[in-house]
Amino acid sequence: MDIILIKYGELALKGDNRAFFENKLVKNIKEALKGYDGIKVEKTHGRIYVECDGNVNEVIDKLKKVFGIVGMTVAKKVDLDLDAIYNAAIELMRSYSGKSFKVETRRPNKSFPYESMEISRMIGGKILQNVEDVYVDVHNPDIVLNIEIREKAYLYSGITDGIGGMPLGTNGRAVVLLSGGIDSPVAAWMMMKRGVEIEAVYFHSPPYTQERAKDKVIDLCKKLSEYGQDIYLHVVNFTDFQLAIYDKCPPKMTTIIMRRMMMRIAENIANKYGAKALITGESLGQVASQTIESLYCTNAVTHMPVFRPLIGMDKSEIVEISQKIGTYDISIRPYEDCCTIFVPKHPIIKPDLEEVIEGEKNIDYEKFIDSLAIDQIKIKQDS
């Protein structure tokens, strides 16, 4: 029968914790494929197998969005019998007429009475005898026929790349500050790739920001949820707080003070919902609030780690990832967020922390934070 063979990378290096990561990956695969009938997921040492009743291409498309998978391929599964392996190899290679090939065999099951090189030689000979217009090239073949001797024999050629990373849910939970721009969804995705489940916080300032700006953020969460989790979006009604900042704080400091307030609010949300870190889409030097001095002032208000996975990336690199993961076209919709509508004419680039603390003294920010209205929206991964 045809099955999908799943390969994973660094999970195999986890030592005594390996089973935890493998079991989580199996669980995530089952969750991703729960809409399909006839799915069976099995785990053996170093491999995961998915048996499916048709819809192979659709299933592979779903698996492409499961973190932890580095590659997958449709394989033939046959009994540990040389004739069965011969027949499967011949059938598989008949679709490659005119191509060069070589056979590579792995034999984790040492009870099988033939060694890997001997199996490859015997199978290659049978292919040459029974398949027209193919020839052997061990140095630069068009086709590599892989054979794995385990509890059964598995034959396949060609690998479809997965997205790699760690299984989602193996590295805790964090809150991402999601603006609606290009950068923050990419930052969220990159931390999800390292196994971090996310919650999102969005700062909404009506009537200065449109409802369509909020809808854009909801759509970004829907896109991110396709990678394996429900996402809770916390919408902070930020208008009064933001107006107070621009009314009572030094104009050149309003952006950095606003960022400090956002971090305080996001950390409160993180603490309430069991998250242990914050995530931002900041890239060093990209704008005034992302210089080293500005980031130092922003970090000063937090008591938990702040992950900035884009910190050393160029904008072009970030755009490339956003296009790959499907967030780019959503992010470029022309609806401004609260970070872009009140930008001072001359924002400070190298703020001094003591001066910033002095500059925000006119705001009773703890009172504002305590009185904030925060709406919660649940975005399901199959929505």
For residue 212, give every residue at least 6 positions away whose Cβ sits within 8 Å of its Cβ, in sequence order, or none.
333, 335
pLDDT for the residue 285:
85
- Flag whether 259 is marked binding: yes
One fold for both 2-161 and 173-379? no
Nearest to 137 by CA among 100, 173, 95, 93: 100
- Flag whether 290 is marked binding: yes
- With a cut of 70, say whether residue 261 has pLDDT above it: yes
- With a cut of 70, say whether residue 308 has pLDDT above it: yes
- Flag whether 323 is marked binding: no
pLDDT for the residue 339:
62
The residue to which tokens 């970090």 are assigned:
299
How far CA 216 is from CA of 28, 180, 266, 337, in Å, comes to 27, 6, 20, 10
Q: What is the pLDDT of residues 284-300, one digit of tens each?
A: 988 877 899 999 999 99
d(CA 371, CA 152): 63
d(CA 270, CA 200): 10
Question: Which residues on adjacent β-strands are paired with residue 76?
Answer: 2, 155
- Flag whether 194 is marked binding: no
In degrees rounded to 5, what are phi and psi of residue 195? 90, 10
Nearest to 341 by CA among 274, 228, 258, 232: 258
Categorize the per-residue pLDDT at 129 as very low, low, confident or very high, splitting at 50, 70 and 90: very high
Q: Which fold has domain 2-161?
A: VC0802-like (3.30.2130)
The residue ranges of DSSP E strands in 163-322, in sequence order, are 173-177, 197-204, 231-237, 278-279, 306-307
Q: Return the minimum-mean-pLDDT range out of 44-53, 72-81, 105-114.
A: 44-53
* Mean of all residue pLDDT scores within the chain: 92
Region of residue 149 (left: phi > 0; alpha: psi -120 to 50; beta: else): beta
Domain residue spans of the chain: 2-161, 173-379
Q: What is the pLDDT of residues 227-239, one digit of tens each?
A: 999 999 999 999 9
d(CA 48, CA 4): 8
Q: Classify the C-alpha dihedral 139-144-150-152 as positive or negative.
A: negative
- Flag whether 242 is marked binding: no
Categorize the per-residue pLDDT at 210 as very low, low, confident or very high, splitting at 50, 70 and 90: confident
pTM above 0.95?
no
pLDDT for the residue 341:
63
DSSP category for residue 54:
S
- Flag whether 112 is marked binding: no
Neighbours of 227 (CB within 10 A): 24
Share of the chain above pLDDT 90, in %: 80
Q: Give the CA count within 13 Å in the CB-facing half-sphere of 4.
A: 27
Nearest to 222 by CA among 46, 361, 378: 378
- Flag whether 281 is marked binding: yes
CATH superfamily of 173-379: HUPs (3.40.50.620)
d(CA 261, CA 350): 18
- With a cut of 70, say whether residue 122 has pLDDT above it: yes
Structure tokens at 93: 């290679």
